[in-house]
Each structure stands twice: as structure tokens, then as C-alpha cells.
Structure 1
Amino acid sequence: MEPQQPDTAQSISADEIALYDRQIRLWGVKAQEKLRSANILLITFRALANEVAKNLVLAGIGSLTIIDHESVTEEDLGAQFFINEEHLGQNRAQAAAASVRAMNPRVQLHIDTEDIHQKQPEYFTQFDITIATELDFATYTTINAACRIANRPFYAAGLHGFYGFVFADLISHDFVIERSKSNVQSTTQETPTRSILNITTKKESDKVIEMVTKRETYSPLILANTSPLPDEFTRIARKRKQVTPLLTCLRALWEYQKLSAGAIPTFSRQDLESFTKLANDLHQELKLDIATLDAGFLRSFLQNLGSELSPVAAFVGGSLAQDVINVLSAREQPLQNMLLFDGEKSVAPIYPLHPFFPPELPSVLAAVPPLANPIPLDNEPAMTV
């Protein structure tokens, strides 16, 4: 079924103002009106998408389309809250539909049980934002390309046990922030991707408030995935050591999937050696100290692949949904452009990954040889989360 566009002819009603009172106090009636007209596509309905759907539906978006062709399995019951044992064997999206609708009957909910791989590029033109979760790299980039052709914002996100990520490609996004008027003149170009388009002022009590319109420009995932870290993360040794090795491991996973038709590495000797070599090579491409990519983290990342943890899903899904709300309301600084979450360390750094190459670091870094195989293989049983 093709989702119908929400009716935006009428302004938000009094009962809607009462229903969404708390959030209207946060972002205003105009922002809420933008939310109620939004048509969102959510791909793959697992634990992460559960959290995204919950937050967007409760916020009062206009329409949500969930597409998932897979059936509910016992593994799905561990971290998802819209399904239970009675739904085993049923389509994952259809099984959750009644519970999603019950959260906010005002939101139009559409369920699509087709395989996302069968959708043509035109399919994505009908949605204001596409959120793709738990897919392989090739599928992410294919959908991202279709969204770019349609000039539609795109998010990719996924979980691997204690680890998770959110990537945003908003193409070009304008937003407004409010701040106290500064005596220092603002620069037109704040960062390589962010510029100031306009500044107006208003008076509140005795304060002069600036309304600053900014524009962020984005890169697609296929370019961001091969882009260097900005100079601010690699210029100083202390900063380099703070860069999470999760970025390297995620890139290594996606590179592995390119070579294995979307599969994830197992604990076979061949897979471990292949993944380790990819990770070492990519870590050095990022100009990071090889010592920060230790065997313990590599092992932990591999042991977490394909699993879901509710607390990690809650954080990553909540962060993604909040960014979508910010983008729809055109308020606040949006994600630029890769958020990585390490649940073991409880850190969530954001890296702006774009094909802007920083100055070369001293050649001593490039001369450090990669470890041939930092994951001990002999006499070590595979561990599970």
C-alpha cells in the first residue's frame, strides 16, 4: 500500500496542542506542525528501529511506513518490545503494527512486507526522510544514492551488541538556532561544511537574541566511508589516541561485507585473519596509532556482531529519533555526520567524515608496521555476548 500524505491543510488543533503540550513548549507550534506533516520510512524492524519508531510516533509525526520482509524469530524476542512469543513466525513488521498504532492512533502507520532490495529508486521519493537500519554496506549505499537522486535526507544505523552507529546524509540542510547577541562578528564559514546564511535579531526582556540561519552540507555514505578524519582529530598525538577504534572496526566490517556478499566474519581462522588485516590497513589509512587498535577491542567487536542489547538500542535509537525531530523542525544543530556509540565505555563521539584531506602527518606514523594477526587464535574458544 502506498502511504497517503498527511493532511496539512489545517493548523494544529487544540486537542493536539494539549496532547503534545510538553514538546510544543520545547520546540514550538510551528515545529510541531512540521512534524505532523512528515512522512517517514523505517527499514528493518528490529530493536533499534523499535526505539526509533517509539520516539517518532510519540512525537506526533504524520505518517510512518515500516518495511521488513523477515519473520519473527526467538532471537528477536530478546531486545524488542513490540513483539512476544505469540508472534513467532509472523512477519516482523505486521506483528508489531498493533502495538505501534496503540502508542499514538493519530499517526498513519503503513506496513510493507516486501524485500527492500526489490524496491526501485522511485520508491524513496515519496518519503521526507528514509531511515535504514541493520543492513549491509552495499544496501545502505544503494538506498542513500536513491535518496540523493530524490533530494531526500537519509540515515543509516545499526547495532552490534555493545556498539552502535548512526550516519546522516541530509545533502544540504538549513536550520535556525537562537543565541544571545555577541559582540564578536560571526564568520560566514564556521566549518568546512557549515556556513551562516543570515542573522536577524529580536528583543526578549532586556536581552537581544540572534536568530542565526545556518546551512550544513553533507557527503554520501560511500564517500564518508573512505574519507579521512579531520585534522583536529589526528594532528596531536593525544587527540589521535582518543579516536575510538570502533570507527576502524566498522569500516573493516563494511569492507569485509563487500568481499563476502554481505556476510559478517565468523570465528574461523581465515575470517579472523582477513578481518584483522583489513582493520590494521584501515586504521593506518586513518592516520591513527596502531597501538590503539588492540587485540582485546578487535575480539570484543567481533563477538558482538549481529547481536542486540536493549540499553544500546535505547541510546542509539533515541539519538537518531531526536536528530530526525531536529531536522524536521529545522531547529538545533543536526548530526554531522557519523555518531559511534561504545556501550562498554559509555562514549558517543561524533566524527565529520568528508573527502577533505588534512595535511600529511610526519612519516613516522606510516612507517609503523601493522600487526600480522593481533587476535590470538590458538586454543581460544569463540566467545559470545
Structure 2
Amino acid sequence: MEGNPLPDGSVPTDVNELSDPAAMAMNGNTFIPSVPALGDLNGYAQMPDPTFGAMTLPMNGVQSGMFTGAPQPTISADEIALYDRQIRLWGMQVQEKLRGANILLIGMKGLGTEVTKNLVLAGIGTLTILDAGLVTEDDLGTQFFVTEAQIGQNRAEAALPELRKLNPRVELYTDPNPVITKDPEYFQNFDITIATGLTLDILANINMSCRMLNRKFYAADTHGMYGFIFADLGIHDFIVEKPRSNKPAKIGDMETSTRCVIGVDSKTEGGKITDIITYQENYSPMQLANLSPLPAKVRNTRRSRMRVTPLLSCIRALFDFQTQSGGRLPAHNRADLELFTRLANQKHLELQLPLEILRADFLRGFLQNLGSEISPVVAFLGGYLAQDVINAIGQKEPPLQNTLLFDGEDFTASQFSFHPINDDAMSMMNTNEGAMMPEPVQTDGSIPVT
């Protein structure tokens, strides 16, 4: 696998495919040691992150928003025929980038299954599925790559035979080890890491590992009729083509508070001028985004605040509950229900949202959905997430910035861009002696699945 070293502990779908030894031994180690200050993260170079003004975040290597995949392989005539329809949609260049992409997916339950299906059908180069969990009867409802006869087998390995049939050209690997055993350097092997079904503490650790290695990161989860997607692509460049307007874009223009024009070109076809604009988008890590206020345009008017889904307060409350409770979900007892309700109201007030939109029936419905998966919901979120990953790889469309919340009860999907106010972020960093990540949580060695 030239240019695509296989992480130690991964299992190839065909041992005859292996020609190179594993890049490095990564298994059996503690995932996150005691968290150092940002100024001294394992010797990685510190680089300014425009999202936070003068604050520096660990970004290994040269700061760049260009996709960092391996050199793009030449697509064969057979592949052109196979991918003809999507090549017509997004072009040969994007398909070549997909062909060279190396992706890690963590968690092979229903949501991970949908993401995997869509990425494999799209023709990515290499996919590693990391999941230490075993197939259970509950998985049969949404994990359509496994059967009842495979109950008790590793989830990732059980799905491989059917997954391989979808697209034999994609190199597939599994890693049956718990994610908490992975050192930060493990994630350097992958262009994009997609983490599903994990607690905020573990997600934040993975996110910061990806960020300091200049790798892109997605997090997602579903709970019955509800779900979320989060993206941290670091510094990400993408190109948009659009008809010339009365006010052409100029280098340095700020389209949003996180999006800047860094390149402008044009082409003329049939007497019509098309601008080719290169944007640079700056992202925030999940730990800071989760502590950030709503965008100013939302919080500045009551009408806008009234339209914010109460799911936002509930998701943040769930993150806090799991942090305080060792990663578990709220049980159906009085103490847990009171704690979750108190946390939800606290998050609601922190977001400056009207109390009347956090209704008792919504809280009750959210709690009843926790821990379950529903096929239509995982299909929608899995499809959306896979498409956004394709956009990030292809760099031809603006990807998610940075949070999507899905409410299946109301059939609504809301996008929010959460970024800390610079002074507040600096204050938080100084208060916590530079530690952005939570302390490691004690686990029993299994992957927490929410």
C-alpha cells in the first residue's frame, strides 16, 4: 500500500494485499496521557489559528487548507465507467481525490453503517473501520450488513463480507481495538476521521489529536428521532464557481466571520463570465464550540432565538451529564432525570434562549429516545455526513460549518456555526492553564456508545 501505511492492529480484508509493513506500533498504549499545556504539546509546532485571534493551537506541519491526501492515483477506464454518473456530477478531479482518500470510521452501528455505505459506493481509496463492539440483537434493526447468525462477532469484521460486495475497488480494513487505546499519532494515518457514538470527552481528545496533526475531523451521533453532526476541518480551502456578479469578489473579502476569499480567477464560455473563487474556512475544535454562544445574528433578536431548536440545549446537557457520570446515559430514575433537567435548563440559560421553548414534553421525548437508533434517522444523517465528507475531500463545495442538529419529530435540520468570542476563549485557556481537553475518563476498555 504505497503512500497509505496501514495502522498497526488493523486487519486487511485480504492478507495478500499487504506489501508494506505497518507504519508504526500504536496499539496497547494509553490513548491520552495527562494533558499538557498548549504551548508544549508533545513537541509539535505551535501555529496561530485565525479562529481565535492571537491564540495558538497545535497544527503539525505547514499551515494549509488544502486537502492533505496521498498523491492521486490514475483512474482506470473501468472505474470511469463505474463512476460515470457521479463524475458527471462532481468532475474527474474530485473523483481522483476520492480515489486517493484514506478515511477512518469509528463506530459501526447504524449511523456508521450508513456513512460507510455511501463512502464506499462513492469510490474512496481506503477505509478503516474501528469498532471494539460486538454484534447484538439491537444492531439488526439498523446495521444491514450483519445477520442474526453473526451476533457475538466483532461489528466491523462481521460487516466486511457484505461491505466488500458494494465496491471491490475500495481497500477495506478493520481495527477491533478500543479507540481509547490509540495514541494521538494513530490518527496521522488518515486524511479524515469520522467518530460516531462516543462521549464528548473522547471526541474532544480525538479532535485535538487530528487538529495537531493537521487532519480533518467529524463527530456524529443519533438518539432515536434526534441526532447531530459536528465538523472541524481546521483550515480548509474550497473552490466555488458562480456567474460574475455586479460586485466581483476580491482577495481578502470576508464572506462570513470564518470565511475569507484567498483567490479569484475567471473563465468565459458563450459570452458569459464565471468567477472561480477560492475560499478559506476556519474551524473551531469541538470542545470550544460546545462552550460557545450562538452566532450574533441569532442571539440578537428574540424572534431568532425563538426559532432555535431545544435539541441544542439537550445535546449540550447530555454531554455534561456523561462527563459527570462516567460516560453513561441517564437512567430512568429520579436522580438522573433531575440532574439532566437541571443541566438542560442551565445550558438553555447560557445560550440566552427563551425558557418557553424548552418544554417538558420535549425533554421527556428526548430522554425516551436516548440510546436507540431508527433507520430513517440514521439514513438521513449518514447520507448528509457522507456527502459533507465528499465535499471536504473534493474541495468544490462549502462543507458544514460546523454543527447540524436533526429533529425527526419536527422534520427539521438546523445548522449553526459555533465559535468562541476571542476574549472569552483566551480567558478560558488561561483559567485552565492552557488545557483545552478534559481529563481522561476511566473506562472499562469498551467504546462508550451513546
TM (normalized to structure 1)?
0.91
| Mapped contact 1:230–1:357 kept (Cα < 8 A) | no
Sequence identity (%): 54
The residue that corresponds to 2:431 in the other structure is: none
The residue that corresponds to 1:339 in the other structure is: 404
CA–CA distance in structure 2, aligned partners of residues 10 and 333 of structure 1: 24
In the TM superposition, what are the counterparts of 1:61-210 in structure 2 within 5 Å? 61-186=124-249, 188-210=253-275
> Which of 305, 318, 336 is 1:253 aligned to?
318
| Mapped contact 2:72–2:96 kept (Cα < 8 A) | no
The residue that corresponds to 2:114 in the other structure is: 51
Say which is worse superposed, 155-164 or 72-81, in terms of deviation: 72-81
| Mapped contact 2:131–2:175 kept (Cα < 8 A) | yes
Change (3 A) 1:86 1:248: same
> Per-residue CA shift, 1:66-109, capped at 9, x if unaligned?
01111111111111111110111111111001111110000000
Q: Secondary structure at the match of 1:262?
A: coil
Amino acid in structure 2 at the alignment position of 1:38: A
| Mapped contact 2:120–2:170 kept (Cα < 8 A) | yes
| Mapped contact 1:147–1:154 kept (Cα < 8 A) | yes
> Which of 385, 388, 407 is 1:323 aligned to?
388
In the TM superposition, what are the counterparts of 1:291-306 in structure 2 within 5 Å? 291-306=356-371
| Mapped contact 2:72–2:97 kept (Cα < 8 A) | no
> Per-residue CA shift, 1:134-169, capped at 9, x if unaligned?
001111001001101111000000000000100000
The residue that corresponds to 2:58 in the other structure is: none
CA–CA distance in structure 1, aligned partners of residues 90 and 410 of structure 2: 32
Amino acid in structure 2 at the alignment position of 1:145: M
> Which of 64, 85, 90 is 1:27 aligned to?
90
Q: Secondary structure at the match of 2:273?
A: strand
CA–CA distance in structure 2, aligned partners of residues 356 and 95 of structure 1: 45
The residue that corresponds to 2:28 in the other structure is: none
Change (3 A) 1:263 1:10: closer
| Mapped contact 1:45–1:66 kept (Cα < 8 A) | yes
Say which is worse superposed, 14-23 or 178-187, in terms of deviation: 178-187
Q: Secondary structure at the match of 1:339?
A: strand
CA–CA distance in structure 1, aligned partners of residues 286 and 115 of structure 2: 20
CA–CA distance in structure 1, aligned partners of residues 236 and 268 of structure 2: 27
CA–CA distance in structure 1, aligned partners of residues 324 and 129 of structure 2: 29
CA–CA distance in structure 2, aligned partners of residues 163 and 335 of structure 1: 18
CA–CA distance in structure 2, aligned partners of residues 125 and 185 of structure 1: 39
Amino acid in structure 1 at the alignment position of 2:319: W
The residue that corresponds to 1:364 in the other structure is: none
CA–CA distance in structure 2, aligned partners of residues 192 and 211 of structure 1: 21
> Which of 353, 365, 373 is 2:418 aligned to?
353
CA–CA distance in structure 1, aligned partners of residues 311 and 246 of structure 2: 41
TM-superposed CA distance for 1:237, in Å, is 1.4
> Which of 281, 299, 316 is 1:216 aligned to?
281
Change (3 A) 1:171 1:96: same
The residue that corresponds to 2:433 in the other structure is: none
> Which of 277, 280, 286 is 2:351 aligned to?
286
In the alignment of these two chains, the number of paired residues is 359
CA–CA distance in structure 1, aligned partners of residues 106 and 312 of structure 2: 23
CA–CA distance in structure 2, aligned partners of residues 185 and 94 of structure 1: 52
Q: Secondary structure at the match of 1:349?
A: strand
Amino acid in structure 2 at the alignment position of 1:83: V
Amino acid in structure 2 at the alignment position of 1:84: T
TM-superposed CA distance for 1:7, in Å, is 8.4
Q: Secondary structure at the match of 2:195?
A: strand
TM-superposed CA distance for 1:185, in Å, is 3.8
CA–CA distance in structure 2, aligned partners of residues 219 and 175 of structure 1: 17
TM-superposed CA distance for 1:10, in Å, is 4.4
Say which is worse superposed, 328-337 or 181-190, in terms of deviation: 181-190
CA–CA distance in structure 1, aligned partners of residues 149 and 131 of structure 2: 18
CA–CA distance in structure 2, aligned partners of residues 290 and 348 of structure 1: 21
Q: Secondary structure at the match of 1:287?
A: coil
| Mapped contact 1:228–1:357 kept (Cα < 8 A) | no
> Per-residue CA shift, 1:43-63, capped at 9, x if unaligned?
010000000000000000000
Do structure 1's residue 269 and structure 2's residue 326 form an aligned pair?
no
TM-superposed CA distance for 1:13, in Å, is 1.4
TM-superposed CA distance for 1:192, in Å, is 0.9
Question: What residue ranges of structure 1 are gaps of 5+ in the alignment?
Answer: 359-385
| Mapped contact 1:245–1:292 kept (Cα < 8 A) | yes
Q: Which has the higher contact order (CA 8 A, sep 6+)?
A: 2
Alpha-carbon RMSD across the aligned residues, in angstroms, is 1.7
Q: Secondary structure at the match of 2:274?
A: strand
TM (normalized to structure 2)?
0.78
TM-superposed CA distance for 1:267, in Å, is 1.6
TM-superposed CA distance for 1:206, in Å, is 2.3
